[in-house]
Copies of this chain bind each other. A is one copy, B any other.
Amino acid sequence: MTQNFKPSIDINVLYRIRNGPLKDYQSDIDEFQKLIADNRIKYNEMFDVDMKTQKRLTNDTVKEICKLGKMQVQLLKDDPKKMLAYLYALFAQIEFSAIAKIVIHFQLFGGTILEVGTDYHHQKYFNDINNFNIVGGFAMTEMGHGSNVRQIETTSTYDLTTKEFVINSPSLSSTKFWIGNVSMFGTHVVLFTKLIFQGQDKGVHVIIVPLRDPVTMEVYKGIQLGDCGHKVGWNGIDNAWIRFTNYRVPRENLLNRFATITEDGQYLTNISSPNKLFQITISQLVFGRLLYIFGPTIFLAIGLKTAIRYAFSRRQFGEKGKPEELIIDYPTHNRVLLPMLATNMVFEFSRNWIIDNLQESSRSDEKREEYHSIVSGVKAMVCEFTIQSVSKLRVFCGGNGVSSYNYFGAMRNDLDVFQTAEGDGAVLYQQLSKFLLSEYKKWYKKQGMTGYIMKEVQTFLTTSNPIHTHYRSMPYLLSNEFHHHAFLFRFEKTRSIVIDHLNQCKGKGLSFLQSWNASLIQVVDLAKTYTHLFILENAQRTIQKVTDPITRHVLNDIVRLYALYNIEQDVGFYRNWNYLSSGKALAISEAVGELCNTLKPYALSILDSHKFHEDSLNIPLAKKDLDYVKHMADRVGIPYSSL
């Protein structure tokens, strides 16, 4: 396909496509990075540093960053892309724990005050947040409850006489746990707590709780807290457990945008139920989930740069008398690396869509719901794929992959938290599927049909289309049309499987929740197939807008590779539902191999279009000159000047 093009690609063009939504912010990125460099704020390598020191160094870095005056809570609302541009800039220059600390402080703590608080809170706290005069945490999780926040046990009982909340941790399992920025440095948290008002449980509310005297750093009476101990990753973050005993905070500390208590002791809200209130409260935090897509795509790009550059320089085994083979030329290598590179790029395109639609998404309830559902699916998929991929990339670098300096270990350990926090995959996928099924139900009702088993749709799905089943000329197999149809078929078929399964369970007398849980495998599949469909459609749309012909051509192959590789991985499904003949299934595997070969010559320049990290991370295997032996030697101090 690409024989007519020379294996070179304009990396600036590609850079702009990969970072599309931030293109108007390039000068902000550059300026911020220069400021950081001018102020000598450096990347702290934490490989052999005890955890207390890590936390201190991380905190110092964040303090210095805040001093630069660029990071501002308000940006989250006024110009979220600028906030992202700054975070993007930081990714290249400071260690990951410091970024996480900034996100907890500005986005989780500050963002909650911004979104759930009112003017009073904004006036009172934003300045101190921006200057890092106070250090904020986000206290939602408890020992007993993580994913299921609605069941948290911490109580805040309103005392009408003193106009205060009295906070308590009634059981061991109600202990707040994992609360970042708190065990050493935190002065405040936004506390997720049940509000008890005149003996009534009003559901989950959020209250600003001061923890320590900001000058003496002494923890206030009525609060006990301590560190959660050593972690697989994120050891620069001071995660804490916290317990409250009759700890009092004033009425004004309730973040009262959606529900309030008046001075004269009335509980007021426009929201119909505590459940609804909870949903609205939580939905303000979508920006955080976006960051959990942002981070992994950057990490994976770094890992790919490392492993692919190494694969283009490392030689092992070969024919007698000839140079040994480059390991990139082993199909066991390139047949994995190139699909992974392709997947990383289409993930970036989805991330870009999510960034571009962030503000738009808050225009209506429907839009918000759809947007949140897509973000959930993409977040779950990106995190899971990335962590598995980083492990594979590690192995592809052999022993050198085990050296901390090549960064796979640190990435994997930090990524582990991404996968769990802000919603675990199994839970997020369920949210997406719920949305998909309720949308379907709506549409379905509009069509005026009755009953729940959709004979028509079923028939469409089970009648295999002979063109799709057998036609297997290469051009057709490579066409966007075929890929889209295959992804769409998989999604719709899976939807009908889920509905069938739910109905069967219902037929056996199970409750809705029992039926749902019994169908979880299918439910999760539904969300996955939809997420893949979304990613593909978005990638195809992205490419249509590319004007530079070579770039467009290469990106087209990238998207095709993602699509075909994905179909290949799921070939059992397609064969089981007679969507593909066996001959076509085998032809698809061949096409994947050919696309890998076609794209291989472009791989290095694609990597170059990811411009970050070369200096700060100083990864020996990832250097542009491909001289890994020399760079590893430099890293561990092997003398070689005499050679």
Contact of A635 among B229, B571, B572 (CB under 8 A): B229
With A147-B398, A331-B520, A420-B398 already in contact, the answer to whether A403 and B231 are too (CB < 8 A) is: yes
In the complex, whether A637 has a CB less than 8 A from a CB of chain B is yes
Which residue from chain B places its CB closest to the CB of A521 in the assembled complex? B331
In the complex, whether A241 has a CB less than 8 A from a CB of chain B is yes
In the complex, whether A226 has a CB less than 8 A from a CB of chain B is yes
The answer to whether A420 touches B402, judged by C-beta atoms less than 8 angstroms apart, is yes
The answer to whether A47 touches B387, judged by C-beta atoms less than 8 angstroms apart, is no
Binary CB contact string for chain A from 146 to 158 against chain B (1 if under 8 A, 0 otherwise): 1110010000000
A242 to chain B, nearest CB (A): 10
How far apart sit A593 and B521, CA to CA, in the bound complex (Å)? 10
Query: Count of chain A residues with Cβ under 8 Å from any Cβ of B?
Result: 97
The answer to whether A229 touches B405, judged by C-beta atoms less than 8 angstroms apart, is yes
Contact of A582 among B409, B570, B577, B637 (CB under 8 A): B577
With A50-B48, A172-B643, A518-B331 already in contact, the answer to whether A146 and B230 are too (CB < 8 A) is: no
The answer to whether A175 touches B316, judged by C-beta atoms less than 8 angstroms apart, is no
The answer to whether B145 touches A316, judged by C-beta atoms less than 8 angstroms apart, is yes
How far apart sit A148 and B387, CA to CA, in the bound complex (Å)? 29
How far apart sit A346 and B398, CA to CA, in the bound complex (Å)? 28
How far apart sit A511 and B319, CA to CA, in the bound complex (Å)? 9
Q: Given the complex, which residues of B lie within 8 Å of A172, measured CB to CB?
A: 629-630, 633, 638, 640, 643
How far apart sit A570 and B71, CA to CA, in the bound complex (Å)? 50
The answer to whether A424 touches B405, judged by C-beta atoms less than 8 angstroms apart, is no
How far apart sit A75 and B233, CA to CA, in the bound complex (Å)? 41
How far apart sit A275 and B408, CA to CA, in the bound complex (Å)? 36
Which residue from chain B places its CB closest to the CB of A45 in the assembled complex? B230
Q: Given the complex, which residues of B lie within 8 Å of A330, measured CB to CB?
A: 426, 517, 520
In the complex, whether A69 has a CB less than 8 A from a CB of chain B is no
Q: Which of A145, A408, A517 has the most CB of B within 10 A?
A: A517
How far apart sit A394 and B233, CA to CA, in the bound complex (Å)? 12
Q: Given the complex, which residues of B lie within 8 Å of A146, measured CB to CB?
A: 316, 398-399
Which residue from chain B places its CB closest to the CB of A52 in the assembled complex? B48
In the complex, whether A575 has a CB less than 8 A from a CB of chain B is yes
Binary CB contact string for chain A from 318 to 343 against chain B (1 if under 8 A, 0 otherwise): 11000011000111100100000000
In the complex, whether A449 has a CB less than 8 A from a CB of chain B is no
The answer to whether A417 touches B402, judged by C-beta atoms less than 8 angstroms apart, is yes
Q: Given the complex, which residues of B lie within 8 Å of A319, measured CB to CB?
A: 511, 513-514
How far apart sit A250 and B350, CA to CA, in the bound complex (Å)? 65
How far apart sit A222 and B627, CA to CA, in the bound complex (Å)? 27
In the complex, whether A578 has a CB less than 8 A from a CB of chain B is yes
In the complex, whether A178 has a CB less than 8 A from a CB of chain B is yes
How far apart sit A237 and B209, CA to CA, in the bound complex (Å)? 46
How far apart sit A394 and B409, CA to CA, in the bound complex (Å)? 15
With A387-B391, A572-B572 already in contact, the answer to whether A230 and B47 are too (CB < 8 A) is: yes
In the complex, whether A41 has a CB less than 8 A from a CB of chain B is no
User: Which residues in window 393-421 of A have CB below 8 A to B?
Assistant: 394-395, 398-399, 401-405, 408-409, 412-413, 416-417, 419-421
Q: Given the complex, which residues of B lie within 8 Å of A318, measured CB to CB?
A: 513
A496 to chain B, nearest CB (A): 14
Q: Given the complex, which residues of B lie within 8 Å of A629, measured CB to CB?
A: 143-144, 172-173
Q: Given the complex, which residues of B lie within 8 Å of A233, measured CB to CB?
A: 402, 409
A sample of 17 cross-chain residue pairs with beta-carbon separation below 8 angstroms, ordered by A number, consists of A143-B629, A144-B629, A148-B316, A148-B324, A172-B629, A172-B638, A175-B638, A226-B638, A229-B636, A231-B409, A232-B409, A319-B514, A395-B424, A401-B420, A409-B413, A572-B585, A575-B582
